[in-house]
Amino acid sequence: MILEKMHPDCLQAPLRLDFDDDALIANWTTLDRLSGAARAGAAIKANGYGTGAAHVAPLLLRAGCRDFFVAHWGELADVLPALEPGMVSVLHGPLFESDVAYARHSGVKPVINSLEQARRWIASGGGRCDLMVDTGMNRLGVAMEQLGNEVLQGLDVDLLISHLVAAEEDTPLNERQRQRWREACQIVAHQRASLANSAGIALGEAYHGQVTRPGIALYGGVPRAEMAPVIRPVVRPQAALLQVRDIAAGETVGYNATFTASTAMRVGTVALGYADGYLRCWSGKGVLRSPGGCALPVLGRVSMDLTIVDLSAAPDLLEGDWLSVDYALEEAARTTGLSQYELLTLLGRRFRR
């Protein structure tokens, strides 16, 4: 039978993520240039911030990136086919013995976050690693007062890392953290140092060290206003029209009848909902666009798998036609109250990447 020879991956998905390879490469190149004497790495954790790490990693490698950062050990499966293990750092560090064994076997670098992780790594035989120092976030990292502990002297530290709390803001916290990071660099032997994330790059050379770690800006996010002119959008969600219909004045649309048509109108239902990361905060606010660029406002309440749009501006659209979602991250964050990070990482697995 034909079905026996088919795999679900052969089916055309009604959701797809339009990805601009050239924009990703251009963003990394720009961030590398803005990093001055430092070299830009790349945070590709959380499935490349929701865009598809397996696709992102080889593009960034081709652009010239040589330092990559994931959060979980389980994220390595998507990126190691394209990258040399020694290029990749796992930010959460060696929590379990299986993490230690895998790092030693593969050559992937664990990021040591605590004295206990340091002991665990050294007891296994040690080797090259990175070290996270907490300079004010109180999240992950060795505390400043622990830096003189003798166990850290047994580490072979490549990158000495810290993470900025509020680099997107002009706050005294930035300088306070920079000074603590510089102090840590004087105490702990290391090959290279890294402090700046995407927003931190814009704070200037004093925050760069030898490696910067951009994340959101690679994928089209704008963490600081001065970066807006040089960062290009990378992804745009697209959804297929499942059904079109004409409704009369007075009819309602969607759950809880939150929209009532004031006149007769044509509406369309698309295969997109909050299960795909298009959350209910888009209800009555979102805009999709026809292939010709006509604005199609979201009507009523976004549901789990479906969203209804006003087709008045493009009445000739039919089932199976593709619509693009207005999803410029900076503007979308203002519209929804979600962060640019949430907007990207919420994009669900049903999007064909």
Catalytic residue numbers? 45, 255
In this structure, are residues 109 and 94 in contact, taking their beta carbons and an 8 Å threshold?
no
How far apart are alpha carbons 251 and 85 in whole angstroms? 59
The residue with tokens 């293990």 is: 85
First-to-last alpha carbon distance for the chain, in angstroms, is: 29
Alpha-carbon separation of residue 325 from 15, 270, 316 (angstroms): 11, 11, 18
Going by their DSSP bridges, the two strands 156-161 and 192-194 should be labelled as parallel
